[in-house]
Amino acid sequence: MTNILYDKIFGSNLKNNKIFLYTESEEVSYKNFTTLTNKLANILVSHGLNPGDRVAVQVEKSVTQLGLYAATIKAGGIYLPLNTAYTPHELNYFLSNARPKIIICATDTMGKLEKLYSSKKASFLTLNANETGSLREKLKSSALSFKAANRTNEDLAVIMYTSGTTGKSKGAKLTHQNLSSNCTILEKSWEFSKNDVLLHMLPTYHTHGLLVACNLLAMVGGSMIFLPKFNVEDALRWIPKATSMMGVPTFYTRLLDNPKFDKNLSENIRLFISGSAPLSADTHTMFKKRTGLSILERYGMTETNMSTSNPYRGKRIAGTIGKALPGVEIRITDRVTGEVLPDGSIGVIEQRGENVFSGYWEMPEKTQDAFTPDNFFITGDLAKRDKNGYLTLVGRDTDMIISGGLNVYPKEVENLIDEIDEVLESAVIGVPHPDLGEGVVAVVVLKRKLLDRKKIQKTLQPNLAKFKQPKFIIYLENLPRNAMGKVQKAALRKQYKELFES
């Protein structure tokens, strides 16, 4: 019996007394983490989990939460992590679409969700930020051993939702093979080993924090300083004890803004990695000046895991996302004709390899649209490749916004704004933001005056995660349009490019 992902990621360190996780309050060995995983897997199975069933998890980052991920995989389930910022309204969509067998969330979320989502076919368990809840209660009497379910390469391990251009999110299906093969490539490419201690301050409901950081460190038998979220003071305190860190560009710009962050503090660090949003060449250069270290920028997506990387040994070129990782085929194509373009031309990044997901959950048409006939995934990111194979991102084929490493699809926000009686139409754009990379801005045309000036914000609040809500709303008489009547978002982005600069 094999369970491809579990055996690969957690299998070799099961009985190890070495510390896997350091938190502010405890140290968890691999051995204790395995016991926790087994107990959690027994609880999941006792709630009816069969191989192939989904386990939806919307909880704060914690040791138990990471154990739930391992337990779901070990029990043969499909782990479905959900951003804690999602509102019950958004959750209702994910749950109705994925139909999980088990839902694990905070106690107060359960109260709200039960009203919206019919729980007939799902069991609810609770886990709160302070590690209380029904799940922790059940741990006390759960059995210590658990036999891993058989899972092959093609079986699904994780579904992660990504926003879509039409405003409806799509569940990216990630197989045991997608995740385990990518991890092996990263181990070799970034030279991770059991000697590594990774400072982990990312959320664990996205690819970056869960499938890159946690999978990799568990697989090599390393350790993680596992903190609930990023803040500069905690980072400064823990960086001297770490050998590596992964973050979105906002982590690095916030560190640079603090004069206490310097070369001495980071002398034990062998590798700072950045991804999920473009790192500006300026930040790369300033970071090198301050610490003597070049941030390694890499590129990936929920659908593809990690696809390109600057080298561990060799030249890390500021402003580039490096070269295709081993086993990942990348080509640049014309956005209209699909024709493969020569190096130096700007076009859409398409990729193929074991890293690429197996399609969108129960959305065959969207899956078909996302792939070329020869099975390359069309990313929608625009880039050019130089003669040495280094890729530079130059924009996006869609008008997606990346705010602090989180993707926001304008359509989802526009749909909600346009439903307001007084609104004629809206255009949601991303403009440069000094802290978040891009900030969400709504440009709104009213049919008639808003009696309540905060009506738009009040409408969005219960329906949309905070990070998707506009940080600024601009009211115009008309939206700029081209001769075809299409809203010219590029013109709006240009006009408001300095909005967040002061």
Nearest by Cα to 253 from 205, 221, 277, 286: 286
Q: Give Cα 416 to chain centroid, integer Å.
A: 24
* Part in contact with ligand MLC (CB under 6 A); list of ranges 134-142, 204-212, 327-335, 367-375: 204-212
Under the phi-then-psi rule, with left for phi > 0, alpha for psi from -120 to 50, and beta for the rest, what region is 485?
A: left
CB 151 within 8 A of CB 5: yes
Structure tokens at 74: 């070990």
Reported residue count of the chain is 502
Q: Is 82 in the site for ligand MLC (CB under 6 A)?
A: no
Give the largest Cα separation in the chain, rounded: 68
Interaction residues for ligand MLC, span 366-405 (CB under 6 A): 403-405
305 CB-side CA count, 13 A? 32
Nearer to ligand MLC, 126 or 302 (CB): 302
Q: Is 276 in the site for ligand MLC (CB under 6 A)?
A: yes
Nearer to ligand MLC, 417 or 436 (CB): 436
Distance from C-alpha of 302 to C-alpha of 182, rounded to nearest angstrom:
12
Q: Is 83 in the site for ligand MLC (CB under 6 A)?
A: no
Nearer to ligand MLC, 304 or 333 (CB): 304
Structure tokens at 445: 């045309």
Nearer to ligand MLC, 81 or 347 (CB): 81
Shortest CB 373 distance to ligand MLC, Å: 26
Shortest CB 264 distance to ligand MLC, Å: 24
Shortest CB 42 distance to ligand MLC, Å: 30
Q: Is 460 in the site for ligand MLC (CB under 6 A)?
A: no
Nearer to ligand MLC, 12 or 165 (CB): 165
Nearest by Cα to 448 from 469, 422, 483, 476: 422
CB 357 within 8 A of CB 178: yes
Interaction residues for ligand MLC, span 147-186 (CB under 6 A): none
Site mask, ligand MLC, residues 217-256, x = CB under 6 A? ------------xx-----------------x-x------
β-sheet bridge partners, residue 223: 197
Nearest by Cα to 443 from 460, 461, 430, 462: 430
Nearer to ligand MLC, 283 or 302 (CB): 302
CB 398 within 8 A of CB 165: yes
Phi, psi values for residue 41, rounded to 5° = -60, -40
Nearer to ligand MLC, 40 or 406 (CB): 406
Distance from C-alpha of 102 to C-alpha of 88, rounded to nearest angstrom:
16
Q: Is 203 in the site for ligand MLC (CB under 6 A)?
A: yes
Q: Using CB under 6 A, pick the residue from 133, 275, 347, 359 that binds ligand MLC.
A: 275
Q: Is 302 in the site for ligand MLC (CB under 6 A)?
A: yes
Distance from C-alpha of 423 to C-alpha of 486, rounded to nearest angstrom:
18
Structure tokens at 366: 């969207």
Site mask, ligand MLC, residues 464-483, x = CB under 6 A? --xx----------------
Q: Using CB under 6 A, pick the residue from 8, 101, 208, 493 that binds ligand MLC.
A: 208
Structure tokens at 454: 């905060």
Q: Is 207 in the site for ligand MLC (CB under 6 A)?
A: yes
Shortest CB 278 distance to ligand MLC, Å: 11
- Binding-site size for ligand MLC (CB under 6 A) equals 22
Distance from C-alpha of 377 to C-alpha of 359, rounded to nearest angstrom:
10
Nearer to ligand MLC, 210 or 423 (CB): 210
In angstroms, the Cα distances linking 135 to 77, 140, 241, 338 are 17, 9, 32, 50
The residue written with tokens 């749950």 in the block is 95
Using Cβ positions, the residue closest to ligand MLC within the complex turns out to be 404
Q: Is 81 in the site for ligand MLC (CB under 6 A)?
A: no
* Part in contact with ligand MLC (CB under 6 A); list of ranges 128-136, 146-154, 300-308, 335-343: 300-308
* Part in contact with ligand MLC (CB under 6 A); list of ranges 9-17, 19-27, 297-305, 390-398: 297-305
Distance from C-alpha of 46 to C-alpha of 39, rounded to nearest angstrom:
11
Residues in contact with ligand MLC by the rule CB under 6 A: 202-203, 206-209, 229-230, 248, 250, 275-276, 300-302, 403-406, 436, 466-467
